[in-house]
Amino acid sequence: ELPEIASPTRTRAIMESYGLTFKKSLGQNFLTDINILNKIVAAADVTEADDVIEIGPGIGALTEQLAKRAHQVMALEIDDRLIPVLKDTLAPYDNVTIVHQDVLKADLKALIAQNFDGKHNLKIVANLPYYITTPIILHLLDTKIDFEKIVVMMQKEVADRLAATPGNKDYGSLTVAVQYEMDADIAFIVPKTVFIPQPKIDSAIIVLEKKDSQPYQPADEEFFKKMVKGIFLHRRKSLWNNLQGLYGKDPATKEKMQVALQKAGIEPGIRAEKLSIAQMVDLADALSAQKL
């Protein structure tokens, strides 16, 4: 029987036998530690009840561990050179589909309908390409697909932003965009040494889970989202200054903003990073009620 794909020896041997080099431009840092892979799969709690989407299977190290436990796995890989490799390395598993597509352009809803039976939980598990971590997370949220869990490895710095709490320096519009719908937790930190080639920065596994019931219900979701971006635009400025940047400085507008802030019970002099998401919803509702 073949050893796991995830070992330094087998990873090098596979790359060599296909005459492949790692493409830095595609974020190709492959995991070569079976213990880390097992911990990722455990954090995602993958079982026979799950259909799993993997983003960027590489040569299949994580895909193999997912295939051993999940009902079905669909893996989207952008690099055409890796498609024949994956066909070979994953040949022993009959529950894996490899899709040669860019995850940011793929129609995930259609792919899910084609490849999954709709009777299993839907999870995303991946070691993300770091050059597009944030676009991928925002894209996944944008699809409005009801993922049970998203468990992904990313640069620790971005993971810190996703899991940040109010008042923390990492708390910003990305935090709010994610935590508006999902609970975000860092499961564990991953050292650089378990990758080939080694990245320059530390990584972390983040677990995103849909909140039980949507706790935030702004009267106007578009208005709320624009306001959130706007109040974090100049992080060092006060909420009041950022609100003027968003809605204007004329006396009539200022008056309306003051009324709204008072109604929401928020001090104009504070910074946006101190506000909870619930306070931001209150503020957006008060501002939109003032017709701003």
- Measure the CA–CA gap between 249 and 266, rounded to whole angstroms: 19
**Shortest Å, Cβ 165 to ligand SAM:** 28
What are the helix (H) ranges across 97-189? 108-115, 133-142, 156-162, 173-179
Q: Which of residues 226-265 bind ligand SAM (CB under 6 A)?
A: none
Nearer to ligand SAM, 129 or 172 (CB): 129
**Is residue 62 part of the contact set for ligand SAM (CB under 6 A)?**
yes
Can you list the positions of beta strands (E) in the chain? 30-31, 50-55, 72-77, 96-100, 121-127, 149-155, 182-190, 195-196, 203-210
Nearer to ligand SAM, 125 or 281 (CB): 125
Among the listed residues 56, 71, 108, 179, the single contact to ligand SAM using CB under 6 A: 56
The angle formed by the CA atoms of residues 83, 126 and 209, to the nearest 5 degrees, is 145
Return the structure tokens found at 58. Answer: 């590489």
Among the listed residues 33, 41, 44, 58, the single contact to ligand SAM using CB under 6 A: 58
Nearer to ligand SAM, 101 or 241 (CB): 101
**Shortest Å, Cβ 55 to ligand SAM:** 6
Binding to ligand SAM by CB under 6 A, coded x per residue (else -) over 8-47, reads ------------------xxxxxx----------------
**β-pairing, 203-210 with 182-190?**
antiparallel
**Cross-strand bridge partners of residue 123:** 52, 149
Annotation-wise, does 56 bind a ligand?
Answer: yes
**Is residue 103 part of the contact set for ligand SAM (CB under 6 A)?**
yes
CA nearest neighbour of 154 among 172, 142, 139, 137 = 137
Annotation-wise, does 102 bind a ligand?
Answer: yes
Annotation-wise, does 115 bind a ligand?
Answer: no
- Measure the CA–CA gap between 158 and 174, rounded to whole angstroms: 9
Q: Which of residues 128-187 bind ligand SAM (CB under 6 A)?
A: 129, 132
- The answer to whether the CB of 227 falls within 8 A of the CB of 283 is yes
Annotation-wise, does 31 bind a ligand?
Answer: yes
Q: Would you call the peptide bond into 268 cis, given omega within 30 degrees of 0 as the criterion?
A: no
Nearer to ligand SAM, 6 or 272 (CB): 6
- Measure the CA–CA gap between 208 and 103, rounded to whole angstroms: 18
Annotation-wise, does 242 bind a ligand?
Answer: no
**Shortest Å, Cβ 17 to ligand SAM:** 17
Nearer to ligand SAM, 55 or 275 (CB): 55
**Shortest Å, Cβ 70 to ligand SAM:** 15
Give the residues lining the site for ligand SAM (CB under 6 A).
26-31, 55-58, 61-62, 76-79, 102-104, 127, 129, 132
